[in-house]
Structure 1
Amino acid sequence: MYDTIPVTEIMVEDVVTAPPDATATEAATLLRDEGVSSVIVARDGDPVGIVTEGDFATQLCERRDLGHVELSAVMSTPLTTVESTASIVDAVELLQSSDIEHLPVVDGGNTDDHGPLVGIITTTELSYYVPHLARERGRPETTLTRRQVRTDTKYERDDWAFEYHSADESTVAVGDTARFSKSITDDDVEAFADVTGDTNRLHLENDYAAETRFGERIVHGVLANGLISAALARLPGLTIYLSQESSFRAPLPIGDRATAVCEVVEDLGGSKYRIETVVLDGDDTTVLEGSAVVLIDDLPPIAVNERDAATTESSD
């Protein structure tokens, strides 16, 4: 089925571009202001190179001042592109074989003579729509790298997303909101079943699930509820779960990118807070809703020391 779906159906059409003579600082500003992970370097509408967040990290290590360096000097080239008529399976294979995460879509081939730029597809878009394709094509799970970027979690992964909105991001207060999202894959469901013993065939067998009211396999409700725990774990401080009430409103299909939204609604005193919790599916349909009570302790000394060390290093 995926061989017949063109990349144009899932590509991002609003591509952020810059000319070859733009400075690296101008491109970095575009990355920040547009909230994207890459800028396509284009000349007269045709792509000639690309600069990504990873490129900037590399260049910052090798150059002291990028303010006046033109993109033509730091962009990745030759550029790998994919035709707009190609399938998403073709895109997966190109991303894997080229070991890249950003693939411009053009009208006119993937040779050195690129056609007009019409969009871009990345591993992020693929994880939203077809999270299992990479596994089917033999891509190891380790390509979704684990990163140590916080002092309160052991690791993060590139396909996870977390946002925290607060007047003071170092503390918890009424009105704060936290969002955590990830795709819940077939591997996630199978691992959860194996660890917990909940091997209900509704979650594990296609033919069995097709004959139920849902018509397809769905994610365990408690696994979906776990996204709330993931969001709460990233609140400022050490989060300790005291209680959770949840009502399940809709099934969550396997492969959907689910999002937990947590809003602090009441300060109960003694560093305890009541939080309204919601999990949404990829279409923003409410899968479950409820409330939680958490206790926020101070981080242990080891985490505080690591945080202070990281702050000192970044300011040097």
Structure 2
Amino acid sequence: MHDTIPIAEVMLEDVVTASPDATATEAATLLCDEGVSSVVVVRDGEPVGIVTEGDFVAHLCDRTDLGGLELREIMSTPLTTIEATASIVDAVELCRTTDVEHLPVVSSDEDATELVGIVTTIELSYYVPQLVRRATDTREQPPRRRVRTDTLYERDDWTFEYRGADETTVSVGDVARFSKPISEAEVEAFADVTGDTNRVHLDAAYAAETRFGKRIVHGVLATGLISAALARLPGLTIYLSQESSFRAPLSIGEDATAVCEIVEDLGRAKYRIETTVTDGDGTVVLEGSAVVLVDDLPPMATREDDATPAQ
């Protein structure tokens, strides 16, 4: 649940720094000797700028006198920083909106800005790879279609929505959504079936003392909603892989919605799908990427579908 993990728990505390009057050559030597990708420029203990490997590449293309220049002349400023109490999700969103890959971490003291660490997209990608690499998608949504579902049964409190250009096959841009409430009984049944009897899912008094403050749904149970959405795509969908990051806890009793968007045709009936699960308030609790194989429906299912009266 990445919105509960502060940057202080994942940042690098040994930050390589230099003063504004240090030369580019001195900073480049630090990068090489320390094996880092950035030098934070500090004045009187306060971070004021940063010089990265990318900065050196950019300046080398334009200047022949780079080595003797002071860092104050080439550093990136104003500096984008993040407080140590911010979450991993906050850091990812800040990287996205400011288009930076290095975030110096500062203390939350209002009287002084103290450099306490640094986090980069490399560290963040260990925890939330999909958040780091996912770009905003502004493609027009395909039209909504009603499609045949290859499921044995449905329940009244489940909802399914499919948007696709063709109701008989899947293609890039298609989106499927599946929603259902997750009850206390289902959480307890899941714990019994899987053996995951972690008390944070089952014991209210125990869960109240954790960082979540209450019982939460198993993360893998939330992931199962993605499988439910995929099961309702045209054809027989077969999981090949699933990569997921858990961004926030899912409360018991809430409606949860899985959204699956086909983003890439990998050939030979294989597709890459971006997957998301949100809670009843629209908060993203899980985000990831799946690869599936879509086979034709078995002949029996096709005959049953042909025999079903039109609605």
**TM-score computed with the length of structure 2 as normaliser:** 0.52
Inter-partner Cα distance in structure 2 for 1:299 and 1:267:
19
Residues 253-296 of structure 1, C-alpha deviation per residue, up to 9 Å, x if partnerless?
00110000010000000000000000001110000100000000
In terms of Rg, which structure is larger?
Answer: 2
Inter-partner Cα distance in structure 2 for 1:270 and 1:281:
34
Inter-partner Cα distance in structure 2 for 1:170 and 1:162:
17
Inter-partner Cα distance in structure 1 for 2:270 and 2:280:
31
Secondary structure of 2:274's aligned partner: strand
Inter-partner Cα distance in structure 2 for 1:159 and 1:150:
19
Inter-partner Cα distance in structure 2 for 1:270 and 1:242:
13
Residue 150 of structure 1 and its aligned partner are, at CA, apart by: 5.4
Instruction: Indicate how the Cα distance of structure 1 residues 218 and 234 shifts in structure 2: closer, same or farther if over 3 A, else same.
Output: same
1:314 is the counterpart of 2:310: yes
* Aligned residues of 2:200 and 2:207 also touching (Cα < 8 A): yes
* Aligned residues of 2:261 and 2:275 also touching (Cα < 8 A): yes
**1:218 pairs with 216, 220, 240, which one?**
216
Instruction: Indicate how the Cα distance of structure 1 residues 285 and 151 shifts in structure 2: closer, same or farther if over 3 A, else same.
Output: closer
Secondary structure of 1:236's aligned partner: coil
Inter-partner Cα distance in structure 2 for 1:179 and 1:163:
5
Aligned to 2:257: 259
Aligned to 1:240: 238
Aligned to 2:227: 229
User: What amino acid maps onto 2:286 in structure 1?
Assistant: L
What does 1:114-129 align with in structure 2 at a 5 Å threshold? none
Inter-partner Cα distance in structure 1 for 2:148 and 2:217:
28
* Aligned residues of 1:151 and 1:303 also touching (Cα < 8 A): no
Residue 170 of structure 1 and its aligned partner are, at CA, apart by: 1.2
Inter-partner Cα distance in structure 2 for 1:175 and 1:212:
40
Secondary structure of 2:310's aligned partner: helix
Inter-partner Cα distance in structure 2 for 1:190 and 1:209:
14
Aligned to 1:104: none
User: What amino acid maps onto 2:221 in structure 1?
Assistant: L
Aligned to 2:173: 175
Between the two structures, name the one with larger relative contact order (CA 8 Å, sep ≥ 6).
2
Aligned to 2:10: none
Long gaps (5+) in structure 1: 1-148
**TM-score computed with the length of structure 1 as normaliser:** 0.51
Aligned length: 165
What does 1:13-28 align with in structure 2 at a 5 Å threshold? none
* Aligned residues of 2:149 and 2:233 also touching (Cα < 8 A): no
% identical aligned pairs: 78
Aligned to 1:304: 302
* Aligned residues of 1:151 and 1:306 also touching (Cα < 8 A): no
Residue 314 of structure 1 and its aligned partner are, at CA, apart by: 2.8
Residues 107-135 of structure 1, C-alpha deviation per residue, up to 9 Å, x if partnerless?
xxxxxxxxxxxxxxxxxxxxxxxxxxxxx
Inter-partner Cα distance in structure 2 for 1:166 and 1:210:
43
Residue 169 of structure 1 and its aligned partner are, at CA, apart by: 1.6
* Aligned residues of 2:231 and 2:237 also touching (Cα < 8 A): yes
Aligned to 1:250: 248
**1:191 pairs with 177, 189, 205, which one?**
189
Inter-partner Cα distance in structure 1 for 2:232 and 2:257:
14
* Aligned residues of 1:185 and 1:254 also touching (Cα < 8 A): yes
Aligned to 2:283: 285
Inter-partner Cα distance in structure 2 for 1:172 and 1:229:
16
User: What amino acid maps onto 1:314 in structure 2?
Assistant: A
Secondary structure of 1:175's aligned partner: coil
Aligned to 1:4: none
Secondary structure of 1:262's aligned partner: strand
Inter-partner Cα distance in structure 2 for 1:238 and 1:181:
20
User: What amino acid maps onto 1:261 in structure 2?
Assistant: V
Residues 2-36 of structure 1, C-alpha deviation per residue, up to 9 Å, x if partnerless?
xxxxxxxxxxxxxxxxxxxxxxxxxxxxxxxxxxx
* Aligned residues of 2:272 and 2:291 also touching (Cα < 8 A): yes
Tell me how large the CA RMSD over aligned residues is: 1.3
Long gaps (5+) in structure 2: 1-146
Inter-partner Cα distance in structure 1 for 2:164 and 2:181:
25
Inter-partner Cα distance in structure 2 for 1:211 and 1:281:
22
Instruction: Indicate how the Cα distance of structure 1 residues 151 and 252 shifts in structure 2: closer, same or farther if over 3 A, else same.
Output: closer
